[in-house]
């Protein structure tokens, strides 16, 4: 890299600063900070949902998979997510927006105190915060690897630079800054990805050769199922993606919560689904072609970075680095905002009821919490190797634990599971978490697919069976809530009237 590349990066940083300063003017309270005041347009919510769904790990850990095994990465990552989000556009996304309308929530965990009870809410909130702390730490570690390859900077310096920039716009601009920067980052990423495809085509001898790479790639690179990524792994991850991308990952739920109505949340989910179906085919093409251009890369996780450094002229190298860098900022900043919402809206009111018991959280408290969370994740990033590296943290730990946490939260939105109460929720969570630690650390010779699948399937089974065995009638309050979330008509009423009707029916 040279001065031109660093100039491109400086322009990107300036864009973030200007966008954040604009977003600050739209943040007057915690509702604006956490839920964009319920005013986010569907197209912005959809692009932000897509951008917040993956990080620079795509260009590190997933690039390694594409380099070693080929096409399978699309079929166990992008394609299942697209289908999962499409399903969620009908079932889950509208309900998140209606939940804000009916209960005035700012956090995706906030409704659980009504749907189940406070202990259930606290168990899921605390365990989710713990899991996301490690997940975000893995993403900081991924961007540090990329910065090191491009610039030679020590990974610790790369982690620090990423963290400071994220702190700036997450603390000041909240969800508005996250979403608006996601849009700008999407434009940057679009240009950079097209540039990489053109560069690969040029070095392969022309655009016509892009379509013939499959015949020249190593054996097995065109297989849908390859290496450790079995059909069982793909199916297990489809279940996990359905839970995660429809709200089990809290920052993605926030994009739907911020939508004005259920119909807007539905359109946002459909847009994100289309982007996951089409865009990764362009994004991964250089990674699939990498074995032809650089057949002997010692560390496949550096394959995308090495290609950019060798195939692109100065200026464009900086653009590609910015594009990869933006993915981490998109996901980590939105994760930080969502975690802060859960801490300030769900955890602090229980820990300190005299101070926060009446929803008295302030912007100052929210911003301090963001700072503390990001600093903690940066410490995790510095020690990522102790947890098995980036890929292990992202695929095994997150995949194995997100299901038990998100099943009671997501299925609790649906009327079909109205009989599943707090006992089913807590038992489901405990069974899934226990199963993960057993198959990960106790039972020998378990495959990645088994480590990921067993916890989520066991948790799902326990939750459903717990509802079937329940003898106590469902409370009127829960019935009213679930019926309201199932209706579009109430969205046309002003929010205060909806809330009043909900409270009256509950009594």
Residue 501 or residue 317, greater confidence: 317
Kindly give, in sequence order, each residue whose CB lies less than 8 Å from that of residue 129, ignoring residues fewer than 6 positions away.
339, 342, 343, 347
Per-residue pLDDT averaged across 35-58, rounded?
A: 87
Parent domain of 270 = 3-484
Q: What is the DSSP letter of 58?
A: G
pLDDT at res. 396: 65
Contacts of 175 (CB under 8 A, 6+ apart): 32, 33, 34, 35, 36, 40, 254, 258, 334, 337
Give pLDDT, residue 497: 40
Residue 495 lies in a domain: no
85-90 LR contacts (CB < 8 Å, sep 24+): 85/49, 85/245, 85/246, 85/269, 85/272, 85/273, 85/276, 86/269, 86/270, 86/273, 87/242, 87/246, 88/242, 88/245, 88/246, 88/247, 88/269, 89/266, 89/267, 89/269, 89/270, 89/273, 90/266
**What pLDDT does 411 receive?**
94
Average pLDDT over residues 167-171: 81
User: CA-to-CA distance for 94 and 77, rounded, in angstroms?
Assistant: 24
Q: What is the dihedral of CA 111, 113, 119, 121, to 10 degrees?
A: 0
- Domain-embedded: residue 489: no
Mean pLDDT of the 377-397 span: 63
The pLDDT of residue 149 is above 80: no
Decide which of 135 and 388 is more confident. 135
Percent of the chain whose predicted confidence (pLDDT) is above 90: 24
419 vs 354: which has the higher pLDDT: 419
Per-residue tokens: 255: 């994009």
Q: Residue 496 domain-assigned? A: no
CA quadruple 42, 284, 385, 48: dihedral, nearest 10: -10
CA-CA-CA-CA dihedral for 16, 17, 20, 24, to nearest 10: 180
Calpha distance 44→75 (Å, rounded): 26
Query: 189 lies in a domain?
Result: yes
Strand blocks (E) in 312-377: none
Confidence of residue 397 (pLDDT cuts 50, 70, 90): low
* pLDDT, greater one: 328 or 22: 22
Q: Is residue 76 one of the residues assigned to a domain?
A: yes
- The 10s digit of each residue's pLDDT in 471-504 is 778 888 888 888 888 876 545 444 444 444 444 4
504 within domain boundaries: no
Residue 176 in any domain: the answer is yes
Q: What is the mean pLDDT of residues 156-163?
A: 79
Residue with tokens 């240009």: 191
pLDDT, tens only, 432-480:
989 988 988 888 878 777 887 888 899 999 999 998 888 778 888 888 8
Number of domains in the chain: 1
pLDDT at 82: 96
CATH of the domain at 258: 1.20.1730.10
Average pLDDT over residues 308-317: 83
Q: Phi and psi at residue 293, in whole multiples of 5°?
A: -90, -35
Q: Is residue 424 part of a domain?
A: yes
Of 33-37, 311-315, 498-502, the poorest mean pLDDT is in 498-502
Average pLDDT of 19-40? 86
Q: How far is Cα 60 from Cα 91, in angstroms, rounded to an integer?
A: 33
- The lowest-confidence range among 62-66, 136-140, 251-255, 462-466 is 136-140
pLDDT at 257: 93
Structure confidence at residue 506 (pLDDT): 42
* pLDDT score, position 394: 55
Quote the pLDDT of residue 393: 53
**How many residues are recorded in the chain?**
507
Per-residue pLDDT reduced to its tens digit, 252-275: 999 999 999 999 999 999 999 999
- Encode pLDDT of 206-236 as tens digits: 888 888 888 888 888 888 888 888 888 888 8
pLDDT band of residue 7 (cuts 50, 70, 90) is: confident
DSSP code of 218?
A: P
Percent of the chain with pLDDT over 70: 90
**Per-residue b or e along 459-497, where b marks 16 or more CB atoms closer than 10 Å to that residue's CB:** bbebbbebbeeeeeeeeeebebbbebbeeeebbeeeeee
Tokens 């807590």: give the residue: 426
Question: Is the CB of residue 223 less than 8 Å from the CB of residue 88?
Answer: no
Question: pLDDT-based confidence at 31, cuts 50/70/90?
Answer: confident
Phi, psi of 229 (to 5 degrees): -95, 80
């Amino acid at each position: 890299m040279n001065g031109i590349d660093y100039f491109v990066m400086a322009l990107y940083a300036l864009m973030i600063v200007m966008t954040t300063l604009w977003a600050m003017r739209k943040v007057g309270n915690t509702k604006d900070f956490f839920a964009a005041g319920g005013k986010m347009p569907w197209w912005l919510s959809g692009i932000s949902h897509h951008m917040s769904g993956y990080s620079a790990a795509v260009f590190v850990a997933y690039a390694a998979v594409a380099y070693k095994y080929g096409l399978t990465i699309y079929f166990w990552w992008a394609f299942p997510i697209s289908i999962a989000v499409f399903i969620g556009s009908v079932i889950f996304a509208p309900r998140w927006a209606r939940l804000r309308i009916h209960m005035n929530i700012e956090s995706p965990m906030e409704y659980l105190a009504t749907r189940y009870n406070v202990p259930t809410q606290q168990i899921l909130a605390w365990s989710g915060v713990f899991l996301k702390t490690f997940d975000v730490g893995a993403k900081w570690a991924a961007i540090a690897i990329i910065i090191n390859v491009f610039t030679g900077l020590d990974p610790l310096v790369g982690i620090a630079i990423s963290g400071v920039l994220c702190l700036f716009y997450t603390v000041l601009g909240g969800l508005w800054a996250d979403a608006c920067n996601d849009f700008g980052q999407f434009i940057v990423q679009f240009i950079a990805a097209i540039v990489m495809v053109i560069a690969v085509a040029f070095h392969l001898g022309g655009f016509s050769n892009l379509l013939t790479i499959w015949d020249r790639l190593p054996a097995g690179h065109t297989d849908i199922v390859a290496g450790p990524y079995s059909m069982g792994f793909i199916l297990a991850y489809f279940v996990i993606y359905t839970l995660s991308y429809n709200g089990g990952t809290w920052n993605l739920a926030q994009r739907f919560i911020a939508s004005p109505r259920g119909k807007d949340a539905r359109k946002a989910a459909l847009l994100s689904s289309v982007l996951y179906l089409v865009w990764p085919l362009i994004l991964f093409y250089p990674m699939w072609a990498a074995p032809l251009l650089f057949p002997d890369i010692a560390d496949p996780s550096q394959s995308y970075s090495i290609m950019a450094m060798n195939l692109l002229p100065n200026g464009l190298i900086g653009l590609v680095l910015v594009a990869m860098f933006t993915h981490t900022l998109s996901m980590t900043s939105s994760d930080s905002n969502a975690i802060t919402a859960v801490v300030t809206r769900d955890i602090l009111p229980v820990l300190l009821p005299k101070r926060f018991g009446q929803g008295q959280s302030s912007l100052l408290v929210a911003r301090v919490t963001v700072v503390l969370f990001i600093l903690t994740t940066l410490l995790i990033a510095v020690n990522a190797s102790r947890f098995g590296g980036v890929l292990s943290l992202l695929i095994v730990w997150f995949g194995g634990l997100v299901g038990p946490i998100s099943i009671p939260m997501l299925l609790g939105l649906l009327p079909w599971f109205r009989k599943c109460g707090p006992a089913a929720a807590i038992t489901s969570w405990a069974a899934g978490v226990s199963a993960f630690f057993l198959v990960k650390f106790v039972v020998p010779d378990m495959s990645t697919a088994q480590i990921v699948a067993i916890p989520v399937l066991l948790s799902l089974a326990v939750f459903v069976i717990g509802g079937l065995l329940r003898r106590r009638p469902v409370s009127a309050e829960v019935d009213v809530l679930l019926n309201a979330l199932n209706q579009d008509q109430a969205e046309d009423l002003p929010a205060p009237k909806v809330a009043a009707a909900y409270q009256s029916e509950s009594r």
